Amino acid sequence: MPGHFRRLFASLMVLAVCWWVLGSAPVQDNSLQVSRNLQEESLSLIAAGRDAEALPLVKQLHEAYPGNHVYLARLAEIHQRSGEWQGCVDAWEAYLKVSPTPWEAFPVLGDAYRKLGRPADSLDAFKRGLALEPRNAELAFYLGRAYERESQFDKARTTYRAALQDHPDHADLGIGLARVTLFSGNTPEARRLAEAAAKRSPGAVDAKLIFGMTLRAQGDLARARVELEQARAMSPDYVDVLLVLGGVAEQQNDLARARELYARILELDPRQATVRTRLASLQAGSKR
């Protein structure tokens, strides 16, 4: 079943189970009507963007029906939107124990662990997800990306390659494989993979970016700049594109362009200390 149809089916099933739980619960002191009122009010608040007001209502529903995965997912989503990553993790981990569709938790669960500064738990979450659905391309991509973040490029490459056997046209998997191949030092193979990814997915900015990076690594600065300028046109404030494009401009001795790009990066992300140092050096050189 294609991914989007599966998710639609799962959502419908979740909704049906939710109302079955409410409808089949024993009626004591109007508890069923109270639950329905809480359900309707909490959903209305969430739809209005009033998560802080909805949260205690959803918690109340969860306490009344602790085995109902719908309320756990709703709690997790509220915590996610609020950036409360520990609450998000706790809710999704509880969701895994009771949900008929546990794989729905893993993309956000793994990312929440990463944002808590727990990369080992992030990796473990994505591994658990892929173990449940071994042919899920998205979960394979998330696991490969988690390996990349830990500089475990061999494991990332193995993960991407295995998934590409089942999903040869999956853009993110192909781009990821090209990227880890480049970072592992095999520039010719990385260029071949990146060029194929860029041709297969001409609208994917990351495909343009990695292709430009491989061209730069091989010293083809003019063509690298063309690809990277196209990537910037597709996503003007993508910091990674600006950074690589700035480096190419420096190598071409187009220092005014490099300064412009580095200054823009710092506007977008003032924490980029290396870029700040590089820009200061270029500005100092321009004054001599």
The pLDDT value given to residue 110: 96
The pLDDT value given to residue 51: 94
Phi, psi of 204 (to 5 degrees): -90, 115
The pLDDT value given to residue 1: 45
**pTM score:** 0.79
The pLDDT value given to residue 23: 42
The pLDDT value given to residue 30: 64
The pLDDT value given to residue 222: 97
Distances (CA, A) of 113 to 94, 166, 205: 15, 28, 27
The pLDDT value given to residue 33: 82
The pLDDT value given to residue 20: 38
What parts of the chain have a pLDDT lower than 70?
A: 1-30, 286-288
SS (H, E, C) 69-135: HHHHHHHHHHHHHHCCHHHHHHHHHHHHHHCCCHHHHHHHHHHHHHHCCCHHHHHHHHHHHHHHCCC
CA distance 215 to 60: 57
Of 28, 10, 29, nearest to 18 by C-alpha is: 10
The pLDDT value given to residue 112: 97
CA distance 182 to 191: 8
Contact present, 9 and 1 (Cβ < 8 Å): yes
The pLDDT value given to residue 287: 60
Sign of CA dihedral 173, 179, 180, 182: positive
The pLDDT value given to residue 31: 75
Contact present, 135 and 129 (Cβ < 8 Å): no
